[in-house]
Every structure is written in structure tokens, then in C-alpha cells.
Structure 1
Amino acid sequence: MNKLEKANAYIQKNKEKATNRPSFHFTPEIGWMNDPNGFAFYKGEYHLFYQYYPYDVVWNDMHWGHATTHDFVSWNYLPVALANDKIYDANGCFSGSAIEKDGKLYLMYTGHIDPNMGFDRDESQIIQHQCIAFSEDGVHFEKYQNNPVIGEQALPEEYQICDFRDPKVLEVNGVYYCVLAARNKQRRGEIIMFQSNNLIDWVFHSSIYQTNPEENILLECPDLFRIDNKDVLVFSVMPCEPEYKEEVIQNTIYVIGEMDYEDGSFKPENKGVLDYGYAFYAPQSTEGKNGERLLIGWMHRWHQTTSQKDYGFIGMMSLPRILTMKDGTLVQQPSIDRTKYFKPAINLEDIQLNEGEVMDLPAEELGYLRLHAASLHTTSFTVELNKSETKVTRIEVDMENNRILFVSDYGSQESITITDLSHGSKESLLLEIFIDLHSIELFINSGEKVLSFTAYDQDKGNNISILAQGKTEFKQVFMESVNVHPIST
């Protein structure tokens, strides 16, 4: 039995052991999941691949899991697409992307070689290079016989082959380009670009984004796309060395600018944070069926220590987000059909609360909450979620100082502050909150700012309250509960 057959047989035999899976966030059938890979619309449906280790709830030899969907809530799990079964990917099929060419679906991924995996890191023995697999039906994949297609000889000497990964492929005017994360000789992160006419023969093109040495960061999972006549470069940040882990927070950044593909230069114009939570990393985008730009990310809190081993799985994907541009910044709006999967629970208009007054909402384990606060008549209020007798998650809204504090008794309990809440009107504040079994996603002012949170605690409550610290006025308080549980099967 080969590695693909072994993985698929294990999943079919053991997937029923996974419990407590969320209702409307994608999870693996069993085992560990991290980065989204190969996100693409192909032959009438969305394909999502992902970094996957089915045998345990810890990171190990990376496979590519695979599922398809039409609506990002109901998923069809397909056989594992890639396993680390070749010399050039012996210790993992790391992250990559997908692109359609001549009716076939091509995957480009990082083949990882590390004979000391699981022991002390020896950079002199680590090789990361780029490989190709392709499929006629989008389900069964064949690895290119002459992999890797971008090897050590193609990488300029100023970069280190031990950290050279995460290819994202795009096509521009009939030419294929690939952006990759790389570590330079100064041991800092860069985003570099390769070029090809056929997806097989690649040459180095340029370095399109560099970090400053004093930032002490590596960059991972780059993405490059165009919205509203602007180019957007997205990448995730991690410490360049273990010694900087306390000062560098893993998060995801976007840079808006202009990409000149002929000379390989990217000119940044504006920079922002894609998600203000500590649970959003390695996102990947694709062009949707209607030409929109869709993005999905891995929701996981680094260094998370909870009892998720009892569940038999770990790892979730965010809700898909439609990306648009507003006032030179990136806006993200959730993209799922709530009319199909959610049902109204409460709809109140013109609600006024006095200082100290508490408004209890119907106890709902899961769902969607929309609060439209009138800024001119509101000072501060707190939304309390997942309330139990002893624990709660709080969204503390300070309208006077235009900021939000997010703090939870669940998980690792870091507090998160978001300032400068709106780029537009100051007359109101719109909060949209998606609450699933292990996660909260907060969209502020129709996605001008977003925060993701995860916690796998088993003792979370399901009560919801609004506490007015001062006079508070809501134009609308609207709530929906999940209509089907669980949805992902």
C-alpha cells in the first residue's frame, strides 16, 4: 500500500472518531490541518487543498488534503491529493497553489527534505524546492517526472535553500509568474519571483519585496493579485529566529502598490493588517466564479495548549472573504449564503439602553449577530459572548475613543485592541459577529477591519448579553442561529 492509499484508508476507517467539529467553518475529517493550498475555481466548483496530517492532531509529514464546495459551508471531501512519497518531497509536500492550464489543474508545491525532522534543525541538510503535479479530473494527481521544476541551481546565491517555499502561481498576459518566500543570506525574509512560459521551465525574475534587518522577520505564503487597478501583495509574518519569538507576532500583512511584471519591480503605496486577531495565518486567494477576489485563511492560535486532542482533529479555515478596495485600504466581507444556512432569531430596531442596563439575547450556541450602533448617542458598551457562570468573551466598544478591546477567558487569554475603527462615516458603528463552536470572527464596518479568534475549550457557555457602560443606542440588533448542525460532513 502506497502513502496515498494508506492515508485515505486511515481516514475512512477513523474519521467517525472526530467529534465537536464546528458547524460552518471547514475542518479536516480527522487529524491536523494548517495552511490552505491550491484554492481555485475549477470545472464549476471551488477546490480547497490544505496542509494535512491525518494520523494525529500534531504537525508532521505534510500531505495535501482536498475538498470541494459550491457555497463554502457544505463540503465534499475528496481523496488526499498528495503524499510525501518521492525523494524530492520525502519529508513533506509543503504549501503551494493551483492554476488551470489547457483544461488540466496544475498544483505547484514545495518539496521538503529534512532528514532530522523532529530533532534539532540542521540547516545544512534542509532542502526546499518547487514541484509540479497535474490532473485531468481535478481529483487524481500525477507528479511531474522531472521534479523539482525550481531547484537549488535556479535559486540565486544570495538566498538559502533551507527556507525557500510556498509558491503562488499566476498568469499575466500569457506568461506565468510565481511568487515565493525566501530567506536571504542576512537571514531575513524576502518575496522573490520566478517566470515561465509553460509552468515547467522556470527562471529567476526578481526580488519584489524585502524586509529590513531590524524587523527580524521571515515572510511566508505570499500571494499577489489585482483589485480595482491596484496590485496587492499579501504575506504572513513569523520570527526569523527563535530568539525573536517574543517580539514578533505571527500575523498577515497586505501591501497595495503597482507591480511591473516586465522588470519585476513592486512599488508599495499602502500597507495594512489583514486580520487583527491572533488566529489568522497563511491565507490564499483565488478569482471567484463571478470575477470577485476571494480569500480564505487558516484559523489557529500559535502555541495553543488545549484539550483538542480529545476531539480527534485540529485546525479550521476562516469564512471566505470577498476583497475590495476602499480609500486605499483592503476591505473584507464574509461570503457565505446566510439565507440558506441560518434562521432569524431576533430583529429589534431603535433600542436604547441606559448606563448599567443589560440586554440579554436569546441563548444561542452558534450563529450571527449584527449590531448597528448610533455613534452620536452612544459612549461605550460591551458585547458578552459564550457566557457561562465563570467565563466570557468580551468585545468592549469605546465609541468616544474610537476603539475596541477584545478579551476572552477562553484559550490563552491575550487581549487585542483595535483603534481607528472607521475610514468612513463616524455617525454609526456596524459590528457583524460570526460565532461557531470554536471561533469568533468579527467584521467591523462592513469589513474595514476584521478580527479572528479561536478557542477549543469544552466549557464555553452560550449566553449573549449587551452591557451599556453609558447611554447606548442601537439602530438595529439582529441575530440568526444556525439552521443545520453540523453542516460540514
Structure 2
Amino acid sequence: MNRLQKANEYIQKNKEKVCFSGSAIEKDGKLYLMYTGHIDPNMGFDRDETQIIERQCIASSDDGIQFEKYQQNPVIGEKELPEGYLICDFRDPKVMQVNGVYYCVLAVRNKQRRGEIIMFKSSNLLDWTFHSSIYQAKFEENTLLECPDLFRIGNKDVLLFSVMPCDPEFQEEVNHKTVYVIGEMDYINGTFTSESDGLLDYGQTFYAPQSTEGKNGERLLIGWLHRWHQTTPPKDFGFNGMMSLPRRLTIEKHQLIQQPAVKLDEYFTHSSYYEQIMINANEKLDINGDHTCYLKIIFSPSNTKRFTIELNKSETQSTRIVVDVENLRISFVSDYGHQNQINIDHICENINEEMTLEFFIDLHTIELFINSGAKIVSFTAYDPDKGKNISIHGEGKTELKQVIFNTVRSNLR
């Protein structure tokens, strides 16, 4: 028996060997999950594309706890996927209903080995037909796309997807990241017109986010904080990666704004407050920090040139955020986690307006929201011996209007 025959035999016995990510939707009082059934006889080792099949499946539940798989799975497979696409990379369905019609967007690899986002449609969630290709990665970018999301904010549509190298030879030149594209989705004709785009996160660990609608109609987003091809947590941690803070999404001036969807008073208690602080060169403001805390700094770029914030500070190590106002850049470098320096440019549009830096510091993560979510940086490090103190160093004229430090409430520890 040759390898292809063995693979076919394996496929018949294992319709859904592994479940990959998907999404959920309510229909007729039941919760429906649409997910990717992943089949790989080698379970990820010695990848052989001829043996890998990814199909889209359905499971439903009356109570949100016990789920039953649809007996006719898969609902989207080889028969529904048009020629020109590879079934080995065909995953991550995000399902939605628009004007009484169900649509789902999916990530797929085309025969040029690059990523596309394609759309299927259905009248009943069970019978699906190919609708269109709505986004294609440029060939020269050498990227594969994953975990698409499509939703509307106000009068604009937003397409999200995560980016990875399309093949191992591009691993050093293509970083894992998540992109947003703002535009117009024509569901009837299956076309997406792009108007502006940007990064959801400037760090090296934010990936595969998905959004949902909040109870007041707001759009909420949660991502996966994961370390790619770098350090992993010790085995006794029992996990690898964690969820980000939820982010509330809005659109301002063709830009996606992400604000922390967290009620500060419910999670943090006031600890220290400083107002109108002047820190000269070689001076510093020290704060007795904690492993889980919140730090907010407000300053005027016109009165400040450059300063450095040290987080997770011990006697010899720290994570340093250098705020270079003159060059409109923030640099993020750490002694923890063995990560490269992160640079965020064009940190403000008007130096006459206040700037705000909000840090949410957890045991293994730091999430920095710049100017109320205009730009965000996420950082992950599993080092068990990180320090907990905070220092703000002046490097030239540094005038801080407010410094707010809060610790996590005792009942949440």
C-alpha cells in the first residue's frame, strides 16, 4: 500500500482527528459552532501536504455545554473548494449573518502558495457554496493568512487576519502579526474594497484575535499572546500562551482604535498618584511596583524630549520603554524573554496635544496602549524571576503631568 492509499484509509477512519479554530453563531435558539476539522497522519511532524486535509465542520448545542457534531460533516470540503486552492491550508471559518443570509470567511493557500481570504454563503448554515475571494496577499510578501474576521463598525466594514510566512524559507523575513483593513464589503457581489489598513499590535506576541458583539452593540476583540519560535514557558506552567485583555474597537480618521474594555475600579485599587512631576537628566522617579498592576503616564510632547520607563525592575534586569518625543518614537526592549527590540514610530500627530501611555502589567505580559489605543504593543515573557519595581528616568527635560499607579484588588489575587 503506497503513502496516498494509507492517507486515504486514515482519512476515512478519522474524519476530524483534530479540531482547529472557528467561530459560533446562534440560530433558532441553538448555538452552532463552525470549526476546522484537521487531518494529518503525521500530527504536524514531517509535514507532508499531500496527506493533510482541512475541512469545515458544524456542531450544535441547546445549552452551550453539550455539543453534538453534525452527522453530515464536513459542510465545506473538497467538493465546495474551487480549483486553484490547496485543501492542506484551508481553515478558521468566521461565520456571520447578513440580511438573512449566512456567510463565512476562510483562510486558504492558493496554488501560488500565498494566502487568500475567501467567502462562502448558505441559507441554512449546513449547505454552503463558494461565493468569492475577497482579499489576496501579494506574491512578493511571501505570506500565508490565518484566522480572518469580518464585521461592521458604524458605516465601515473591517477585515482582520493574521500573517505568517507562507513557507519555511521565509521564516526569518516574515514576522507573525495581525493586520486590519477598513473598507466596504459588498456581500451581494462578494467584493471587499480596501480604504485603509494598519497593524493591530506592534509587539511580537499578539496573534489570531477574534471579535464579538458586546451587550451594548460594541465590537470587542480578544487576541492570543503567544511566543513564536522563541522561548516557551517551563513545562510545569501547564500552558503556552494566554489571552489578551479585551479591546473595544472604534474607527477614527480611517484608523482602528482599540481601547481596553476593562473597568479599572473593579480590578485595581489606587496606590500612588503624582502630578506635575519634573524629572531632570540623571534623576528618576521610583515606584514600589507589583507583578500585576496598572500604570498611566500623561505628558505633553512639547514639554518633554526623552525619558525611559523601567518595568519588572530587579537589581540587574528590567523591561525598558524609551519614549523619544523628538523623533516621535517609542522603543521597547527587555532583558526578559530574549526578544528583539520593538520600535513604534509616529507615536503622535500633534506635539501640542497630550500623550497618554497606559500599561497593564501581568505575571507574564505587558500590554501598552498609546494615546487611548491609537497604537498598542503587547509583550510576553515567562521568566519566573522578573522584578516588580518601576522607575521613570529623565534624559533631558521631562515634565509629566500625571503618573497613576494602581495595584490589583486583593480579592482578585
User: TM > 0.5 between the two?
Assistant: yes
Provide, for residues 395-426 of structure 1, a one-character-per-residue CA deviation record: whole Å limited to 9, x for no partner. Answer: 00001111100000000231000001124664
> Is the CA contact (8 Å cut-off) linking 2:35 and 2:93 kept in structure 1?
yes
What is the TM-score when the length of structure 2 is the normalising length?
Answer: 0.95
> Is the CA contact (8 Å cut-off) linking 1:306 and 1:457 kept in structure 2?
no
Instruction: Name the CA distance, whole Å, in 2 between partners of 1:419 and 1:328.
Output: 18
Instruction: Name the CA distance, whole Å, in 2 between partners of 1:424 and 1:333.
Output: 20
Q: 1:289 to 1:423 in 2, by over 3 A?
A: farther
Q: The residue matched to 1:149 in structure 2 has which SS?
A: coil
Matched, 1:145 2:75: no
Matched, 1:376 2:266: no
Instruction: Name the CA distance, whole Å, in 1 between partners of 2:267 and 2:98.
Output: 37
Q: The residue matched to 2:299 in structure 1 has which SS?
A: strand
Instruction: Name the CA distance, whole Å, in 2 between partners of 1:284 and 1:223.
Output: 6
Instruction: Name the CA distance, whole Å, in 2 between partners of 1:477 and 1:229.
Output: 37
Matched, 1:213 2:213: no
> Is the CA contact (8 Å cut-off) linking 2:267 and 2:412 kept in structure 1?
no
Aligned to 2:14: 87
Aligned to 1:355: 281
Instruction: Name the CA distance, whole Å, in 1 between partners of 2:355 and 2:221.
Output: 24
> Is the CA contact (8 Å cut-off) linking 2:233 and 2:239 kept in structure 1?
no
Aligned to 1:389: 315
Matched, 1:283 2:209: yes
Q: What is the Cα deviation at residue 338 of structure 1?
A: 1.7
Matched, 1:418 2:379: no
Specify the code of the residue in structure 1 equivalent to 2:282.
G
Specify the code of the residue in structure 2 equivalent to 1:368.
Y
Matched, 1:175 2:80: no
Instruction: Name the CA distance, whole Å, in 2 between partners of 1:438 and 1:336.
Output: 18
Q: The residue matched to 1:314 in structure 2 has which SS?
A: coil
Instruction: Name the CA distance, whole Å, in 2 between partners of 1:327 and 1:358.
Output: 37
Specify the code of the residue in structure 1 equivalent to 2:265.
T
Specify the code of the residue in structure 1 equivalent to 2:384.
Q
Instruction: Name the CA distance, whole Å, in 2 between partners of 1:477 and 1:286.
Output: 33
Instruction: Name the CA distance, whole Å, in 2 between partners of 1:399 and 1:181.
Output: 39
Instruction: Name the CA distance, whole Å, in 2 between partners of 1:425 and 1:112.
Output: 51
Provide, for residues 275-331 of structure 1, a one-character-per-residue CA deviation record: whole Å limited to 9, x for no partner. Answer: 000010000000111100000000012113244212222221000000000110000
Superposed CA RMSD in Å reads: 1.5
Q: 1:432 to 1:179 in 2, by over 3 A?
A: same
Provide, for residues 337-364 of structure 1, a one-character-per-residue CA deviation record: whole Å limited to 9, x for no partner. Answer: 2211210011111111112211101232
> Is the CA contact (8 Å cut-off) linking 1:341 and 1:484 kept in structure 2?
no
Instruction: Name the CA distance, whole Å, in 2 between partners of 1:260 and 1:250.
Output: 29
| Match among 195, 198, 212 for residue 121 of structure 2 | 195
Matched, 1:312 2:238: yes
> Is the CA contact (8 Å cut-off) linking 1:382 and 1:466 kept in structure 2?
yes
Q: What is the Cα deviation at residue 467 of structure 1?
A: 0.1
> Is the CA contact (8 Å cut-off) linking 1:423 and 1:448 kept in structure 2?
no
Instruction: Name the CA distance, whole Å, in 1 between partners of 2:352 and 2:185.
Output: 34
Instruction: Name the CA distance, whole Å, in 2 between partners of 1:272 and 1:232.
Output: 11
Aligned to 1:44: none
Q: The residue matched to 2:79 in structure 1 has which SS?
A: helix
Matched, 1:160 2:86: yes
Spell out the pairing of 1:74-473 with structure 2 (5 A cutoff).
87-90=14-17, 92-423=18-349, 426-473=352-399
What is the TM-score when the length of structure 1 is the normalising length?
Answer: 0.81
Aligned to 1:478: 404
Instruction: Name the CA distance, whole Å, in 2 between partners of 1:423 and 1:221.
Output: 31
Higher RCO (CA < 8 A, seq sep 6+): 1
Q: What is the Cα deviation at residue 486 of structure 1?
A: 5.2
Instruction: Name the CA distance, whole Å, in 1 between partners of 2:266 and 2:224.
Output: 24
Percent identity, aligned pairs only, is 66
